[in-house]
Amino acid sequence: MSPSCFSLFKPKSGRQEQPHDSEKLPPSYEATSTVSTLISATEDWKCYEEEHSDRLDTTQRLEQLRGLMKQHGIDYYVIPTDDAHQSEYVAPADKRRQFITGFTGSAGQAVVSADKAYLVTDSRYWLQAERELDSNWELVKSRGPGLPKDWTEWLPFHARNSRIGIDGRYIPHSTAVLLAARLERLGSELVYPEDNFVDSIWKDRPSRSQERVFLHPLKFTGEHARDKLRRLREWIRQQPEDLFASDDCEQPVATVISSLSHIAYILNLRGRDIPYHPVFFSYLFVGLARTTLFVHSTKVCEGVQLYLSSLDVDIRPYDDIWGYLKSREWGKEGKVVIAPQTSHAIARAISSSKLSVLPSQVETMMSIKNETEIEGFRRAYLRDGACFSRFLAWLEAEIVKGTKLTEWEAAEWLNKERFKTENNMGLAYENISASGPNAASPHYGPTKETAGLIDTLTPYLNDSGGQYLDGTCDTTRTVHFGTPADDQCEAYTRVLQGHIAIDTAIFPEGTTGLQLEVLARNKLWKEGLTYLHGTGHGFGSYMNVHEGPQGFGIHVPFRLGHVVTNEPGFYQPEQFGVRIESSLVVKKVRTKGNFGGDIWLGFERLTRVPIDTRMVKRELLTTDERRWLKDHNDMCLKDLTPLLKNDKCAMEWLERQARLADALLH
Which of 344, 367, 390 represents a domain boundary (last residue)? 367
C-alpha–C-alpha distance, residues 358 and 348, integer Å: 16
Amino acid 299: pLDDT: 96
Residue 1 has pLDDT above 90, yes or no: no
Distance, CA of 502 to chain centre: 21
d(CA 254, CA 332): 12
- For the ranges 227-236, 320-329, 420-429, the lowest mean pLDDT is seen at 320-329
Asked, for residue 515, whether it belongs to a domain, the answer is: yes
If pLDDT is split at 50, 70 and 90, which confidence band does 326 have?
confident
Residue type, 555: H
Which of 449, 49, 549 minimizes the C-alpha distance to 276?
49
* Domain contains 408: yes
The phi, psi pair for 448, rounded to 5°, reads -60, -40
Closest CA to 542 of 149, 208, 267, 270: 270
Q: Which of 302, 224, 317, 325 is nearest to 267 (CA)?
A: 224
In the predicted model, is pLDDT for residue 605 greater than 90?
yes
Residue 413 confidence (pLDDT) above 60: yes
Confidence of residue 52 (pLDDT cuts 50, 70, 90): very low
Total number of domains in the chain? 3
The CA-atom distances, in angstroms, between 234 and each of 130, 198, 228 are 50, 42, 10
φ, ψ (nearest 5 deg) of residue 549: -90, -10
Residues 536 and 571 in one domain: yes
Q: Is the confidence at residue 42, as pLDDT, over 50?
A: no
433 pairs with which residues across the strands? 462
Cα 253 from Cα 233, distance rounded (Å): 9
Confidence check: pLDDT of 50 > 60: no
- The answer to whether residue 207 sits within a structural domain is no
Helix (H) or strand (E) holding 460: strand 460-464
Model confidence band, residue 90 (pLDDT cutoffs 50, 70, 90): very high
Q: Is the pLDDT of residue 619 over 70?
A: yes
Per the model's pLDDT, the better-predicted residue between 67 and 35 turns out to be 67
- Does a cis peptide bond (omega within 30 degrees of 0) precede residue 549? yes
The string of pLDDT tens digits covering residues 432-457 is 999 999 999 888 889 899 899 999 99
Q: What is the pLDDT of residues 638-665, one digit of tens each?
A: 999 999 999 999 999 999 999 999 999 9
**Residue 487's CATH number:** 3.90.230.10
Q: What is the pLDDT of residue 662?
A: 96
Cα 469 to Cα 215: distance, rounded to the nearest angstrom: 11
Cα separation of 458 and 577, whole Å? 9
Q: Is residue 5 in some structural domain?
A: no
List pLDDT tens digits, range 164-213: 999 999 999 999 999 999 999 999 999 999 999 999 999 999 999 999 99
Please give the share of the chain, as a percent, with pLDDT higher than 90.
80
* Pairwise CA distance, residues 21 & 18, whole Å: 9
Q: Which of 367, 388, 409 is the last residue of a domain?
A: 367
Residues 194, 104 within the same domain: yes
Our measurement of the distance from residue 110's CA atom to the centroid of its chain's CA atoms, rounded to an integer in Å, reads: 21
Is 46 a domain residue?
A: no
Looking at the domain assignment, is residue 12 inside a domain? no
Whether residues 141 and 287 share a domain: the answer is no
Please give the residue range of the domain that contains residue 266: 21-31+212-367
3-class secondary structure, 595: helix
Boundary-marking domain end, from 335, 367, 399? 367
Q: What is the pLDDT of residue 128?
A: 86
| 283 & 384 share domain | no
**Alpha carbon separation from 345 to 72, 178, 193, 258, 410 (Å, rounded):** 19, 15, 11, 11, 43
Are 124 and 106 in contact by the 8 Å Cβ rule? The answer is no
Question: Which pLDDT belongs to residue 525?
Answer: 97
Residue 32, Cβ neighbours under 10 Å: how many? 15
- Binned at pLDDT 50, 70 and 90, residue 329 comes out as confident
Residue 154 sits in the same domain as residue 241: no
386 and 349, same domain (yes or no)? no
Full DSSP string of 640-652? HHHHHTT-HHHHH
Q: Give how far Cα 381 sits from Cα of 200, 385, 389, 448, 622, Å.
A: 45, 6, 12, 28, 28
pLDDT in tens, 239-249: 765 454 444 55
Helix axes 35-51, 407-419, angle to 10 degrees: 150
| Mean pLDDT of the chain, nearest integer | 89
Band of residue 598 on the pLDDT scale cut at 50, 70, 90: confident
pLDDT at 279 over 80: yes
pLDDT above 90: residue 44: no
432 in Cβ contact with 1 (< 8 Å): yes
Q: What is the CATH number of the domain that holds 87?
A: 3.40.350.10
Look at residue 36 in the predicted model and tell me its pLDDT.
38
Question: Which of 546, 368, 540 minimizes the C-alpha distance to 471?
Answer: 540
Q: Where residue 25 falls among pLDDT bands split at 50, 70, 90?
A: very low
Residues 258-282 as b or e (16 or more Cβ within 10 Å = b): bbbbbbbbbbbbbbbbbbbbbbbbb
Query: What's the CA gap between 548 and 233, in Å, rounded?
Result: 21
Question: Nearest Cα to 85, choosing from 152, 25, 177, 170?
Answer: 170
Task: Show Cβ contacts of residue 448 under 8 Å, excluding neighbours closer than 6 positions.
Answer: 46, 50, 406, 408
- Quick check: is 379 in a domain? yes
Residue 30, pLDDT above cutoff 60: no
Judge if 437 and 314 occupy the same domain: no
524 domain-assigned: yes
Helix axis angle for 486-503 and 518-526, nearest 10°, is 150
H/E element holding 551? strand 547-552
Instruction: Tell whether 363 and 379 lie within a shared domain.
Output: no
pLDDT-wise least confident of 32-36, 118-122, 469-473: 32-36
The residues near 561 (Cβ < 8 Å, ≥ 6 apart) are 367, 368, 369, 370, 374, 585, 586
Strand order in the sheet with 291-294: 313-316, 291-294, 283-287, 252-257, 335-338, 355-357
Listed residue (213, 549, 513, 510) closest to 366, CA to CA: 549
State how far the Cα of 279 lies from the Cα of 447, in Å rounded to an integer. Answer: 26
The verdict on 129 and 55 lying in the same domain is yes
- Specify whether 236 is located in the same domain as 111: no
b/e sequence 61-86, b meaning 16+ C-beta within 10 Å: bbebbbebbeeeebbbbbbbbbbbbb
Answer whether residue 33 shows pLDDT above 70. Answer: no
Average pLDDT over residues 462-477: 98
What are the beta bridge partners of residue 479?
460
Q: What is the mean pLDDT of residues 502-527?
A: 97
CA neighbor of 583 nearest in space, from 473, 429, 431: 473
What pLDDT, on a 0 to 100 scale, did the predictor assign at position 9? Answer: 29
The three-point CA angle 576-579-585 to 5° equals: 175
Q: What is the pLDDT of residue 240?
A: 66
Please say if the pLDDT value at position 393 is more than 60: yes
Quick one: pLDDT at residue 332? 66
Residues 387 and 350 in one domain: no
- Which segments within 3-108 are labelled E, that is strand? 76-79
From 99-103, 119-123, 141-145, 559-563, the region with the lowest mean pLDDT? 141-145
d(CA 400, CA 402): 5
Q: What is the pLDDT of residue 443?
A: 82
Strands 466-468 and 424-427: antiparallel
Q: How far apart are CA 608 and CA 658, in angstroms?
A: 13
Phi and psi (nearest 5°) for 90? -125, 160
pLDDT at 241: 56
H runs (alpha helix) in 460-535: 486-503, 513-516, 518-526
Question: Residue 6: what pLDDT?
Answer: 26
Q: What DSSP character marks residue 172?
A: B
C-alpha dihedral (419, 424, 428, 432), degrees to nearest 10? -30
Could you tell me if 196 and 244 lie in one domain? no
Whole-angstrom Cα distance, residue 331 to residue 329?
Answer: 5
Reported as a pLDDT band with limits 50, 70 and 90, residue 309 is: very high
Average pLDDT over residues 65-82: 96
Please tell me the total number of residues recorded for the chain in this structure: 666
